Structure 1
Amino acid sequence: MKAVLHSLLGSLLLAATLPASSVFAQSPDSAAPALTTGFDHRAAELLDLFEGRTAFADFFAPSFQAAIPEAQFQAITTSLIAQYGRPLAVDDATSTNGRAGTVQLRFEKGVATFSLDVDAEGRAIGLQLTRFTMTHDSFAAVAAELAALPGRTGFLVAELDGTTIRRLAAANADTQFAVGSTFKLYVLNELAAQVAAGRRNWSDVVPLSHLSFSSTATGNWPKDTPVTLQTLANWMTSVSDNGATDTLIHLLGRDAIEARMRRAGHSDPSRNIPLLTTVEAFALKGNNFTAERAAFVAGDDSAQRRLIDANRNRLILSNVDGISFTNGPRSIDSLEWFASPNDIARAMADLRARGSEPAMAAMAINNGVGPAAAADWTYLGYKGGSENGVLSMSLLGQRKRDGKWFVVTASWNNPKANVGTEDLIGRVTRLLALAAK
């Protein structure tokens, strides 16, 4: 649905921010050290910003304010303070050029690492949470916090030994959740399988045949632009481009991807049959297809497939009612792509076992959590999914210290209200950090 968060951290660029204190931890009566750069100045003002002593409009550059309005910024910081407690002191602030660097801020429950960027005038253009290390953290603590979120949540942390999945921590791991664009893992897997079978090559050039809604890479591109299969795979996986996805679905075959999903061990494949393209799903969810949506939801797999086939010339980008998606979740329990945390782990295991370097590389372009959280991993691949009321994050990693492979996946659905990315991303990053131990 909504283009999967290009990077769940990346899409929170400027948004996943927490309160900070002075760049130099000091007692109130100690002399403040000289601030010589824009980076130093803004880092020192962070506490004042979050406590209201420095105006939002004075601290941030216009580009930041356009991307993240003040009300949204305040909502995010309120949520993150609720997770991690009050900010206490800055333990470290480092910049090599006076314009960009990192700040380690100690909170009541742990230490946050932020990236901070300023423009030539010294106003902040980027403030991003890249890691949070909890004090005395545990899987049980994260599980309790996920369970307290409104709606339904489920997660799984597991070690992969070949195709064997050894559970380390989980909740509702067999429950089906709407997972948004996480379903694109099955498309990537089928593409890799067809290349391995000699039916296709990653370098094959094909037309961008099917345009879709909310496409980060191919939005407004001319139809039938020639692109390689590897380019489509990279776009689909790293920025969750929907036009690239739909082009691949039509090229590989809906039936073939459905069969791949079954072979990968999906526990309830009927939930995703027929496998909808992104534009079909967007169209059916919108106000232009109210009767068709009701019939689709009520039908069995065969009836649903007939409906899609009968309306193939109508379920297209020009008939997507984008306004429909401005008022919260729509049919996320009945018209979506579904998987349990265990299903996603099995899909990740199947993809890894295929041994396709281009497929693995596609997942690693955007690791979803940023460089600091990825530091403990030799390899870290990611696929996420989101729409109104739906958020899913899934990572496949090889642990640096011993070469073992792990899956970390979590999903959150709330049919009554939109879900906050910042409420899930920090907890998934903590699960990843716990797995790294």
Structure 2
Amino acid sequence: MIRKPVLAVLLLALSLSGAPVAAQSPEMQAATTTGFDRRAAQLVDLLNGEIAYADYFDPTFQAALPEAQFKAMTASLIAQYGKPLAVEKPVSTDGRSGSLSLRFEKGIAAVLLDVSAAADGRVIGLRLTGFEAADDSFAKVATEIAALPGATGFLVAELDDATIRPLAAANTDRQFAVGSTFKLYILDELAAQVAAKKRRWSDVVPLSHLSFSSTGTANWAKDTPVTLQSLANWMISVSDNSATDTLIHVLGRESIEARMRAAGHSVPSRNIPFLTTVEAFALKGNNFESERTAFIAGDDAAQRKLIDANKSRLTLANVDGVSFAGGPRFIDTLEWFASPNDVARLMIDLRNRNSPTAMSAMAINPGVNPGATRDWTWLGYKGGSELGVISMSLLGQRKSDSKWFVVTASWNNPAAPVATDTLVGLVTRLLALAAK
């Protein structure tokens, strides 16, 4: 639960060569004469499983991206965009490094390719830098989102001060479990307290509340001193849960709840009391069955009383592994919730906060592949996931006209895990359409 979501459409995001890429060589000829030409010509067959992974990639690449991982990524790409069909527009000035277009059934990928100087000329770098879906439209994406099993909702809208102008939308007022997207409310409150001179981004606090965490704070000692800005950066960019829970306790649970209301959440009671990640982990597990039953049945006051009464027990040491295994657990009743419109209002509140530090935290990890960011002057992201839940939300300033947009989508399925890569692909397409 609340694991770091998949952060790119895919794959091949590995470049082990610093060789420059230029754009002036002729189109691929029938008889290839360079290592780049030869490997580019084989790329379709590689992705279709007709060329052995070890025969195509240099040992340095194989060490960095094992075959099983490569095949899983390839399968995900094909599931989203169809079979690869042809290589087009290969360009290289030195015969070793260059660019090409890779046509799939449902679009065209921009690819960078680097080949070793060794005699066998195997590939040392392969990167998919962007993807353009063929004849795409909001209507097509909306149809695909609606066909997903479970419940879905999304919104693509221009933001003008406090106004939301939808370009495409579905179920915008429905409450969805959104996983770690709730952490944007914490960032908003932190930025507000800094603006009010209650705190400074440079304030040092102890890492006081440990949770299942990211590589940001994994295995750190309790009470390690860290700045508020570092906690915010970890919480947003890698969804670090220890950073999140520490910030909730530093800022105050009720202060964050008040910020959530002020930001325009339409049903704030769904997130009151505002749970820490470890509290949610614990309540979802088997060690707290009676407490979970009482929590779900209670009103806000009863739930808060239960959390306060069990604060010494709702800790990392008492979380069992069932919270992260099997199938979805209580995602309709024990989670963090927001509608697409709630997320849009939150993005407006964050943007109007005029905090460069908060905005920089959102921009560390854009959530989509690098090619998808090229049409945006600035792009910020937060997503969230657990079994049965995936949510992605982006705030961006369009490069062509400096207008601001929100792209947000959620997919819940209490009956089965959801396919993260599928939603990543759909949201990436929505972002590309919004950029036009």
**TM superposition score normalised by structure 1:** 0.88
Moved more, 280-289 or 119-128: 119-128
1:87 to 77, 84, 101: 84
Shift of 1:138: 1.0
Task: Decide whether the 8 Å contact of 2:7 with 2:369 is kept in 1.
Answer: no
Aligned: 1:353 with 2:348: no
Q: Deviations over 1:112-135 (max 9, x none)?
A: 234567889876677554432122
Q: Per the alignment, do residues 208 and 99 of structure 1 end up closer, same or farther by CA in structure 2, a change over 3 Å counting?
A: farther
1:94 to 1:386, Cα distance in 2 relative to 1, 3 A = farther
- In structure 2, the residue matched to 1:294 is 293
2:108 aligned with 1:111: yes
Shift of 1:405: 0.6
Deviations 1:93-114 (A, max 9, x none): 5679988765421123221234
- Tell me the equivalent position of 1:174: 173
In 1, the alpha carbon distance for the partners of 2:101 and 2:186 equals: 39
Q: Map residues 319-330 of structure 1 onto 2, 5 A cutoff.
A: 319-330=318-329
In the other structure, the counterpart of 1:20 is none
- Deviation (angstroms), 1:52: 2.3
Does the CA-based 8 Å contact 2:347-2:406 persist in structure 1?
Answer: yes
Change (3 A) 1:98 1:280: farther
Relative to 1, partners in 2 of residues 1:99 and 1:314: Cα closer, same or farther, differing over 3 Å? farther
Are the structure 2 counterparts of residues 371 and 273 from structure 1 closer, same or farther at C-alpha, using a change threshold of 3 Å?
A: same
Distance 2:155 2:319 in 1: 35
| Distance in 1 of aligned mates of 2:157 and 2:42 | 41
Q: Which amino acid aligns with 2:158?
A: E
**Secondary structure at 1:304 match in 2:** helix
1:54 maps onto 2:42 in alignment: no
* Displacement after TM superposition at 1:291 (Å): 2.1
Secondary structure of 1:415's match?
A: coil
1:144 matched to 2:139:
no
Q: Secondary structure at the match of 1:379?
A: strand
SS at match of 1:369: coil
The residue number in structure 1 matching 2:246 is: 247
Aligned to 1:32: 32
Structure 1's unaligned 5+ residue stretches are 17-23
Is the counterpart of residue 185 in structure 1 residue 184 in structure 2?
yes
Which residue identity lines up with residue 385 of structure 2 in the other structure?
S
The offset of 1:254, in angstroms, is 0.4
Distance in 2 of aligned mates of 1:128 and 1:289: 46
Measured in 2, the distance between the counterparts of 1:138 and 1:277 equals 39
Answer whether contact 1:216 1:240 (CA < 8 A) is retained: no
Give me the whole-angstrom Cα distance separating, in 2, the residues matched to 1:137 and 1:89. 20
Deviations 1:302-354 (A, max 9, x none): 11111111111111111121244121211111111110000000000000011
1:43-87, CA deviations, whole angstroms, 9 ceiling, x for partnerless residues? 4433222322223455561442277274x346424522xxx3332
Give the letter aligned to residue 422 of structure 1: D
Percent sequence identity over aligned pairs: 68
Deviations 1:141-190 (A, max 9, x none): 11001111111111101111101111111011111111100000000000
Aligned ranges for residues 343-382 of structure 1 at < 5 Å? 343-382=342-381
Query: Cα–Cα, structure 1 residues 247 and 34, in superposed 2: closer, same or farther, change >3 Å?
Result: same
Rounded to whole Å, the distance in 2 between the matches of 1:343 and 1:319 is: 33
Deviates more, 1:134-143 or 1:318-327: 318-327
Post-superposition shift, 1:290? 2.0
Q: Distance between the aligned counterparts of 1:391 and 1:159, measured in 2?
A: 23
**Does structure 2 conserve the Cα–Cα contact (< 8 Å) formed by 1:193 and 1:354?**
yes
User: Aligned equivalents of 2:104 and 2:338: distance in 1?
Assistant: 35
Retained in 1: the 8 A contact 2:241–2:277? yes
Task: Verify: 1:308 aligned to 2:311, yes or no.
Answer: no
Change (3 A) 1:375 1:58: same
* 1:274-293 matches, cutoff 5 A: 274-293=273-292
State the secondary structure of the residue aligned to 1:214: coil
Q: For residue 270 of structure 1, what is the amino acid of its counterpart?
A: S
The residue identity in structure 2 corresponding to 1:9 is A
Separation in 2, partners of 1:98, 1:329: 50
Q: RMSD over aligned Cα, in angstroms?
A: 2.7
Matches within 5 A, 1:175-214: 175-214=174-213
Number of residue pairs aligned between Structure 1 and Structure 2: 420
Structure 1 residues 142 and 284: CA distance shift in structure 2, 3 A: same
4+ runs deviating over 3 angstroms: 12-16, 24-27, 40-45, 56-60, 72-75, 92-103, 114-130
The answer to whether the Cα contact below 8 Å between 1:184 and 1:237 also exists between their aligned partners in 2 is yes
Equivalent in the alignment of 1:68: 69
SS at match of 1:366: coil
Q: 1:226 to 1:334 in 2, by over 3 A?
A: same
Cα gap change, 1:95 to 1:178, in 2 (>3 Å): farther
* Contact map agreement 1:3 1:216 (CA 8 A) in 2: no
Q: Is the 8 A contact 1:79 1:422 kept in 2?
A: no
**Are the structure 2 counterparts of residues 75 and 260 from structure 1 closer, same or farther at C-alpha, using a change threshold of 3 Å?**
same
Task: Give, in whole Å, the separation in 1 of the partners of 2:433 and 2:373.
Answer: 12
Partner-residue secondary structure (3-state), 2:42: helix
Partner Cα separation in structure 1 for residue 181 and residue 27 of structure 2: 42
Q: Is the aligned partner of 1:236 residue 2:239?
A: no
Do the aligned partners of 1:332 and 1:415 also contact (CA within 8 Å) in 2?
yes
Question: What is the CA–CA distance in structure 1 between the aligned matches of 2:316 and 2:65, rounded to whole Å?
Answer: 31
The answer to whether the 8 Å contact 1:217/1:239 transfers is: yes
1:403 maps to a residue whose letter is S
SS at match of 1:394: strand
Residues 69, 92 of structure 1: alpha-carbon distance in 2 compared, 3 angstrom cutoff: closer
Question: Corresponding residue for 2:21?
Answer: none
Task: Determine helix, strand or coil for the equivalent of 1:68.
Answer: helix
In the alignment, the residues of structure 1 paired with residue 11 and residue 164 of structure 2 have an alpha-carbon distance, to the nearest angstrom, of 33
Tell me the CA shift for residue 32 of structure 1: 2.6
